[in-house]
């Protein structure tokens, strides 16, 4: 029986290429974002989501008018869910879900009085001076944690069944959050 070291081999060295390894984003590091493109995209998504939420606000005169809006924020993998919380402005994260692709989607409550604060944060990120140490834009941690912003769509589920009510965010039945 021939030795396994004497068998014919295929030489594939000519087809080899070398590329730098880029791991999955997570932990403290990740891919560097293009500041202008990312900031403008997030700014536009926020404007569209808030305008769409304003268009569907209830106008029942028997109730107090709503004083805020919920939006869906898809966050960068490895980011804590409360990175967007601003307690002094009453901006706070609500329910959190994980999609099939293992992305985190957060329901973010934005009071009407705090909308200019978010716009200012995005403006500072886009056009503010870079820090001396690290050359980072202002509010980098908050803005770069955002992958996408969408309008949240809430529907009540499970109220008649005697179980605790659920709120569905998004258009799919699997996107449900249990109310606390």
Highest mean pLDDT among 18-27, 81-90, 163-172: 81-90
Residue the block writes with tokens 């493109």 = 37
Model confidence pLDDT, tens digit, residues 128-164: 888 888 888 898 889 888 999 998 876 555 555 555 4
Tokens representing residue 57 in the block: 């606000």
Tell me the C-alpha to C-alpha distance, in Å, between residue 91 and each of 36, 52, 160: 24, 19, 31
> Residue 119: is its pLDDT beyond 90?
yes
Model confidence pLDDT, tens digit, residues 1-50: 667 677 777 777 777 776 665 544 444 445 567 888 999 999 999 999 99
Give the pLDDT of residue 73: 92
């Amino acid at each position: 029986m021939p030795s396994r070291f004497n068998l014919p081999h295929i030489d594939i060295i000519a087809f080899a290429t070398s590329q730098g390894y880029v791991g999955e984003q997570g932990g403290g590091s990740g891919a560097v974002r293009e500041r202008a493109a990312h900031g403008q995209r997030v700014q536009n998504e926020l404007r569209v989501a808030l305008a769409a939420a304003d268009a569907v606000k209830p106008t029942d005169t028997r109730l107090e008018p709503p004083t805020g809006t919920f939006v869906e924020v898809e966050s960068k993998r490895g980011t804590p869910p409360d990175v967007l919380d601003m307690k002094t402005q009453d901006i706070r994260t609500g329910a959190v879900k994980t999609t099939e692709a293992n992305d985190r989607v957060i329901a973010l409550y934005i009071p009407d009085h705090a909308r200019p604060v978010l716009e200012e944060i995005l403006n500072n990120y886009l056009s503010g001076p870079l820090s001396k140490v690290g050359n980072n834009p202002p509010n980098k941690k908050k803005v770069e944690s955002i992958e996408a912003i969408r309008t949240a769509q809430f529907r009540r589920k499970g109220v008649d069944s005697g179980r605790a009510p659920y709120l569905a965010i998004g258009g799919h039945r699997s996107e449900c959050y249990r109310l606390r």
